[in-house]
Amino acid sequence: MSFPVQKSDAQWQAELASKQAESVAFQVTRQAATERPFTGKYEAHWADGSYHCICCGAKLFDSNTKFDAGCGWPSFSEAIPGAIQENVDRSHGMVRVETVCAQCGAHLGHVFPDGPQPTGLRYCMNSASLDFEQPK
């Protein structure tokens, strides 16, 4: 699998450090870890703006698609078209759909078919994978 943005682990670590990303950001985005629920800075963050990939800056979600799923992670009902690649994930004895950034392959979280209408989707994301931007 190859993505338009390619960097070594050391380069990603330096990039994330320069953005003052959360300490778990490298493990989450490059090693598919999951942050503990209710610990992420965007879980209960409701400002207007957009959410971008912490690694490469690609825009992933608009704040108006964010909703409170009560699961402890920031949840969105719709992604920016083309921003996210989905992969079947059979780890941990479950079949889930992993979501990664289509530009750099950063692990973001999973998408589940139990979200609100009209999409019916719940993009369950790690705060550590996201970078919020206020409207320009």
Q: Does 25 bind Zn ion (CB under 5 A)?
A: no
Q: Does 106 bind Zn ion (CB under 5 A)?
A: yes
Q: Does 101 bind Zn ion (CB under 5 A)?
A: yes
Interacting positions 35-74 with Zn ion (CB under 5 A): 53, 55-56, 58
Question: Which lies closer to Zn ion via its Cβ, residue 83 or residue 116?
Answer: 83
Structure tokens at 45: 């963050």
Cα 51 to Cα 16: distance, rounded to the nearest angstrom: 16
Query: Cβ 101 to Zn ion, closest distance in Å?
Result: 3
List CB contacts of 133: < 8 A, sequence separation 6 or more. Answer: 49, 50, 51, 52
Question: Which lies closer to Zn ion via its Cβ, residue 7 or residue 96?
Answer: 7
Q: Does 103 bind Zn ion (CB under 5 A)?
A: yes
Q: Nearest CA to 108 among 133, 70, 80?
A: 80
Dihedral-angle region of residue 82 (phi above 0 means left; psi in -120 to 50 means alpha; beta otherwise): left
Interacting positions 76-95 with Zn ion (CB under 5 A): none
Question: Which lies closer to Zn ion via its Cβ, residue 24 or residue 58?
Answer: 58
Is 56 an annotated catalytic residue? no
Cα 108 to Cα 6: distance, rounded to the nearest angstrom: 16
Catalytic residues: 124
Question: Which residues make up the interface to Zn ion (CB under 5 A)?
Answer: 53, 55-56, 58, 101, 103-104, 106
